[in-house]
Amino acid sequence: MERVAATEAARMAQPTYQQLHDDNRRLDAENRDLRAENAQLKARIAELESQVQTLLHDALDLRDRRDGGELFAHGPAVAIGRLNARLARLLAWTRTNADNERLANHRDDMFTFLIVPGIDATSYRAELAMRLAATLRKTWGGNRTWAGARAQAVLMTVWATGRQLGLDAFRLFADLFCGRRPRLPLLRAGP
């Protein structure tokens, strides 16, 4: 008798066809809702990306107009203020994307190239300067110790600075290693 009761209880615990069908329909509806929310989120992200791209193009146009002498003395300051206000409006909504959060964290640095003359709008030159160090790291297997990494970093910095100043890197290192003071060009003071 106990065995029959246990079998009957197990049969009752299994869902019926109707329960499975109802669960499946509920899951399908939830899946449709999630797809719709995902599509809306993707559309909002694409819209934000487009607006940020337009803002950056406007900032580059402002730089070109400033460098071309088309703006009065106070013109760039007013235009930069307007660009900052546009950026603040773009970043005012709740950020759920890591890229948008990173953008918001660096918003104060976005238009430095408009404020400080001589600063590039992109990190192209810095990335170009890193290319040789990355190649050396990949082809020679990197450094085995922190001291070796530090030594390579210092040497690469001196080499890149000499190259930017138009100096012969071989002669610069030879002078430094032989204890001679290298002849460096005079540099202007920064802003």
Backbone torsion region of residue 11, taken as left when φ is above 0, otherwise alpha when ψ lies between -120 and 50, otherwise beta:
alpha
Q: What element of type H or E holds 109? A: none
CB-side neighbour CA atoms (13 Å) of 121: 11
Q: What is the pLDDT of residues 82-132, one digit of tens each?
A: 999 999 888 887 667 787 788 888 888 888 888 887 788 888 877 887 787
Print pLDDT tens along the chain (191 aa): 566 666 666 666 677 778 878 888 888 888 888 899 888 888 888 888 899 899 999 999 999 988 888 877 788 888 899 999 999 888 887 667 787 788 888 888 888 888 887 788 888 877 887 787 777 766 665 677 778 778 887 888 888 888 888 888 888 888 888 988 877 776 554 44
